[in-house]
Chains A and B, each alone.
Chain A
Amino acid sequence: MLNIKNLTVKANDKIILDNFNLSVKSNEVVAIMGKNGSGKSTLCKAILNHPDYKKKGTILFNGEDITNLKTDEISKKGIYYLMQSPTEIEGVTNASYIKEARKVRGIKEDVFQFNKVLNDIIETTGIDKKYIHHNINERLSGGEKKKNELLGLYALSPSLILLDELDSGLDIDSLKSISKAINEYRKKTKSSIIIITHHDSILSYIKPDMVHVIWDKNIKLSGDLSLAKKIEKQGFSGTINMTRSDLDE
């Protein structure tokens, strides 16, 4: 599915990730944890080839080198980025961008077919119908923005979802309902997920197969959900300084 090999990422001449390697299998959920500024969100932006980040190394998606593809081309390959703070855009509705995004993916449909797609998503996810013709995230709360992003997720059918701090700005009820919608999508599509997070709270709702910890520009620890629990207890510094035998206990 996704293979990142020897990736070095720079922003403003500062190295954020250095010789970074990551592998995500099909239908796998991988959590990337790390303290503030450790490069977790940079990883998402590097995968999407954000112009502010300079890269060396290789990113393979389904065997294809996507390292230097344009952002829109990467998205069309099947990668969906749910941003930590989704942008507010005035004058452009969800319906209009989703329609265009489906069109460029080669989906041919008339207005009735398109409306049915959106209505089916509304029914499946329980998202308020008003979001369809709402300007993208405009004047929505943090939680509402994340719910709003589910429309795009379901409509664009990605096979890899990047969840960048999904839990930030969400109350527990919203986190539960959004996680449920993402889990249902994954169950239906067998897609993979990369969860970027500081805390283990989201990992109770979207269960990871693997947990990796970024420390000093690279993955320093890997394990299962118990690693996230240890981090929650000991903190990042405390966990990193533990020996392997400590971790296995």
Chain B
Amino acid sequence: MNSLLIGKDCNLSKNIIVENKSIISLLDIFDKHKTHIILKENSSLTINLFSKKAFDLDIKIDLYDNSKLIVNSSFINNDYHKEIIDVNLLGSNINVFVNVRGINNKSDVQIILNGSNKSESKNNIFHEYAKVINNTNSKNILIPNLLVDNYTGIFNHGVSIGHINEKNIFYLESKGIERNKAKKMLENGFILSVMDENIKEKIKAMLKED
């Protein structure tokens, strides 16, 4: 399992090719650079991405036969946040799951999730979702694009923008937890729930710093 934490003031450009069942170690920082990842036949890649700084991600991922991609991305923004994840299914029997979660506390958010499936690509499974909790009056743009040219697979995509559920806040308040603390617990839970177990503790520690 590979995890990536976005640190402060890091700039790095990287093209990554994954081949022949290898799993890459993603310790590079994508911020502010276009990144191109290619997953060759039978390869797999899991990315856990967390950001609480200004962030600009533009990543293109091409997948070939029997490859598997999981992108778990979450953020709490106190500055602009832009995330473009462009996934191209260029083979068959591919599995893709992209899950983006964010808390917008201050500035504009733009998330574009693109997915495309070639007409000759068969039996692919593709899910992409983005959910943003908006705590501001700033602009949230979430665009899920999906182009499917072959219907032998399963394809789902969706986005949502909203607030923390008041029922959930009331539940925690009814247990004695003060409203602001309850909201914070719910927000942290919202973004942590998409991350792999092995990185949760690191992110929890980062959230405690706030």
Q: A residues bordering B, Cβ < 8 Å?
A: 48, 50-51, 70-72, 75-76, 81, 83, 86-87, 89-92, 96-98, 100-101, 104-105, 135-136, 152, 156
Contact = CB atoms under 8 A, between A and B. Distances in A.
Interface string B151-191: 00000000000000111101111111111011001101111
A96 B190 CA distance: 14
A70 B179 contact: yes
Given A50-B170, A89-B186, A101 B177 contact: yes
Contacts of B173: 70-72, 75
Nearest to B191: A91
B49 to A, nearest CB: 17
A114 to B, nearest CB: 15
A42 to B, nearest CB: 14
Nearest to B189: A91
Contacts of B188: 91-92
Nearest to A50: B170
Given A89-B186, A92-B186, A100 B174 contact: no
Given A70-B179, A135-B189, A89 B174 contact: no
Given A92-B185, A100-B181, A104-B177, A135 B172 contact: no
B190 A90 contact: yes
B171 A87 contact: yes
Contacts of B193: 90-91, 135
B contact patch SS = helix
Nearest to A105: B176
Contacts of A86: 171
Pick the 3 closest A-B CB pairs, nearest first. A91-B189, A91-B193, A71-B173
Interface string B58-80: 00000000000000000000000
Contact of B176 (A83, A92, A156): A156
Counting chain A CB atoms within 10 Å of each CB, the highest count among B174, B181, B185 belongs to B174
Contacts of B178: 70, 72, 104
Contacts of A87: 165, 167-168, 170-171
B192 interface: yes
Nearest to A86: B171
Contact of B172 (A50, A51, A70, A97): A97
Contact of B170 (A71, A97, A104): A71
Counting chain B CB atoms within 10 Å of each CB, the highest count among A83, A89, A152 belongs to A89
Contacts of A100: 177, 181, 185
B90 to A, nearest CB: 33
Contact of B189 (A50, A89, A156): A89
Contacts of A76: 176
8 contacts: A72-B176, A83-B174, A87-B165, A91-B189, A91-B190, A100-B177, A104-B177, A156-B175
A72 B174 CA distance: 6
Contacts of B170: 50-51, 71, 87
B192 A91 contact: yes
Contacts of B175: 72, 75, 97-98, 101, 152, 156
Contacts of A92: 172, 185-186, 188-189
Nearest to A85: B167
A87 B166 CA distance: 11
Contacts of A101: 175-177
A76 B173 CA distance: 10
Contacts of A90: 189-190, 193
A186 B165 CA distance: 32
Contacts of B168: 87, 89
Contacts of A152: 175
A136 B171 contact: yes
